[in-house]
Structure 1
């Protein structure tokens, strides 16, 4: 009898183990099918970069990568999901008046957006120095590996730049970008310092004393002041000037000489001379030498652009590679949305790109839905917040009742983005209304028709029903009104 009871107990334990195993396999299988939707509230609260449960799609993990008396650079890390690196980080550059972010190149592509202030940006394009003077609203692309510098050319205003950091070409995909400083000294060290002194002296054709003078003068950090009030700055600029004078002693090339190697060597020498001239305020390189004229993509000002879509409740602007050719290389899009107080950017889906956004002013709410129809996030946002929306995930932005909400950002595709709006006069519900959609909702066609046609606005909607009724009472809109969406984000 004891033996029988033992056998029964063993059988029961075995059955429980099998049941537990099957249950675990079922849960794992469901999670594998459902992806992020199966993660639920736990991940929303524990998501990296989302402390205190602000929301799965709010990027809060930031790092101050440099700070000097003249400015600072802060990076916001993109979200890392299931071990996959983020394709993009967001950078914030702040510079005091009359300061320089010294020449460097980094292992990532950048798109600079001037939030406030004025900047002079110099960068190498086709082995020539190009200079752009940027004002508030301007965007400018800098390819990975292209040497560049930034000057706050304003006399009294701080310069604030927001930039995308595309990690596709980084040394370590998804990691923070690595700076390689061309200029420098003791702090930061120039990449030239990594070579043996005798090798560098021979390469530059200067004495060891001349080399030491220029390589050990700069101690102010990556962002330095350009005016004469900085105690250690004159020595640095003096050293640069002496090297610049040395480089101007180039040999004359016979006009009949077609030797391309010599011409390329001279062009490279001219490029460095031009870079130093620019830092010393010697004027535009393109004026100094006609051979140096390079046709580079012009900068693009978002604030001077006609909205892609606009109505009484706000407007949106979207820029793709057809509007700004420099976006072809980076394969990124740029957008700007302004919602009036209490207005909503209708629930929609981006079928071709992931979206990153930065709140420029105002406050509001961002709502995101999981594929299984549950709420993924309902988070309040305000100025300075950074968010991201994965491709295919439905979402909407709502401005608070107190003030407009303005946000700017990037999409991970330079192609024309055609979001699918789920609600509104130009939505999927409106286009697909019929017996099939009515059956899917379990209602009659008449009921579906009333539901879909109740909202007369498109894309940017009022959230107050009374406000919408008042507007409809003032001016009755034609039922067959055609909404013209010219291009870009809402094309």
Structure 2
């Protein structure tokens, strides 16, 4: 009989190996369990609109109520930001990863991350030169964003956005608060590097009441002037400007025209795509497999070279296309590798008038659906066969489809367009109709006995949509 110490050691080794395998093949850094306050109470789901509106000098920020059961269950926060032409959304970071969809407009986006090189040169202020006698500014790369772009922003990464177009820039954002990267509580917390509290039209100031908490002032306001002056080696007058709250909010109108170096829209896209295809599709944090031979900075060859945006309007990338029903474009970590880092993904859908999105469920994730156009009749079935959602949704509506809950949608006479944000970088759905459906996989005798129908009726269930999947054309019956 083996000594107890050997048995205990073997058991410990087994558990260690099991945990390592789970971390590698599962969501090792993906999501945490729900707290008792977040248990999914989903007897009834409702399409919702934002409940908080914060006015700033250069735009508005709208926030959905985090206390709604559907958002509590999914562990997400939903925000819509509107930036007026020639306005600037000031630098900030938040406590969890986020995905943003550009619903309208265009602009310039900057995302900074520690350790990434300052490889871009922009013009300095007219008539002024830096300490090195150069009228140029070194900074990390900025990117052109436009309608249809999906933007990934990791937790703690500072980002800013400037609307240099001639129309409003509107972005809908979903924050995955239940992601393990967020080791605080499950509340939205934004940290601003500049600016101050705007005016709220919801009766509450941003950061007071409810579960939505962000800084009323920027992060420098709490620090001692002398300490900051010493840290930056600058006069205290400059520090007072850092700390100042001028009441403009967090989206402002720049006093001078902003000029930064923006690469051409397609610059290096081919290079990135070749990089992606030539490497493993599964991204890993600080993995040596992502570093070039002889590179000094492994981070520089991982995060710093990844694309931060991916356009979802590209028809040639559609995963499902039907001339009679519409199209689906799923953007996961295989198409957009940064999603493997934040463990999120998204789907862009377009249903033609009266077409259907097949009954199906998600095996891997919650989905936050934002309607961008048209309308549809959507139903969701719970685990007891009860109807938890039965509504007609239209542009601007947001609702959650919980993991494993079965849903179906029929587009209205004007069609239906949406974007859904998923809490997994490798989402998987199981349809109930079409050539990839559960019925197609079941033997006929199982179907006939399960539903007490004839073999002919079972064949109709199994084969009548044999040339379609997920998106179904209107029935002629």
For the residue of structure 2 that corresponds to 1:352, the secondary structure is: coil
Scaled by the length of structure 1, what TM-score is found?
0.67
* 1:327 aligned residue: 339
Alignment of 1:335-350 (within 5 A): 335-350=347-362
Flag the 1:330–1:166 CA change in 2: closer, same or farther, 3 A.
same
Number of equivalent positions = 358
1:74 maps to which of 31, 38, 62: 62
Quote the residue 1:432 is aligned against: 442
Matched, 1:368 2:380: yes
Q: Are the counterparts in 1 of residues 325 and 474 from structure 2 also a CA contact under 8 Å? A: no
* Superposed CA RMSD: 2.9
Higher Rg of the two aligned structures: 1
The answer on whether the counterparts of 1:89 and 1:164 sit within 8 Å (CA) in structure 2 is yes
SS at match of 1:98: coil
* Residues 288-367 of structure 1: pairs in structure 2 closer than 5 A: 294-305=304-315, 306-311=317-322, 312-367=324-379
Q: After superposition, what is the alpha-carbon deviation per residue over 1:102-122, rounded to whole angstroms, capped at 9, x for unaligned?
A: 111111212121111112111
Say which of 89, 94, 102 aligns to 2:82: 94
Q: C-alpha separation between the residues in 2 aligned to 1:210 and 1:324?
A: 41
Matches of 2:223 and 2:231, distance apart in 1 = 10
1:146 aligned partner? 157
1:133 equivalent in alignment to 2:137: no
**Alpha-carbon distance, 1:89 to partner:** 1.6
**Alpha-carbon distance change, 365 to 184 in structure 1, aligned in 2, over 3 angstroms:** same
Contact 1:361 1:382 in 2 (8 A): yes
The 1:355/1:85 distance shift into structure 2, 3 A limit, reads: closer
Q: Is the 8 A contact 1:79 1:86 kept in 2?
A: no
SS in 2 for 1:372: coil
Instruction: Give the secondary structure class of the aligned counterpart of 2:365.
Output: coil
Higher helix fraction (1 or 2): 1
Correspondence list, 1:100-119, <5 A: 100-119=88-107
The answer on 1:395 being equivalent to 2:395 is no
Cα distance 1:437–1:190, how it changes in 2: closer, same or farther (>3 A)? same
CA apart distance, 1:455 = 3.4
Deviations along 1:194-231, whole A, 9 cap, x unmatched? Answer: 11111111112122234335543744221101255xxx
Q: Aligned residue for 1:202?
A: 230
Asked if residue 283 in structure 1 is aligned to residue 295 in structure 2, the reply is no
**2:217 matched residue in structure 1:** 189
Displacement after TM superposition at 1:170 (Å): 4.2
Matched, 1:421 2:409: no
Q: Unmatched 5+ residue regions in structure 2?
A: 1-38, 117-139, 199-215, 265-296
- 2:108 corresponds in structure 1 to 120
* 8 Å contact from structure 2 (residues 306, 337) kept in 1: no
In the alignment, structure 1 segments of 5+ residues that lack a partner are 1-34, 45-55, 229-278, 467-491
Shift of 1:85: 5.4
Structure 2: how far apart are the matches of 1:388 and 1:207? 50
1:404 partner SS: strand
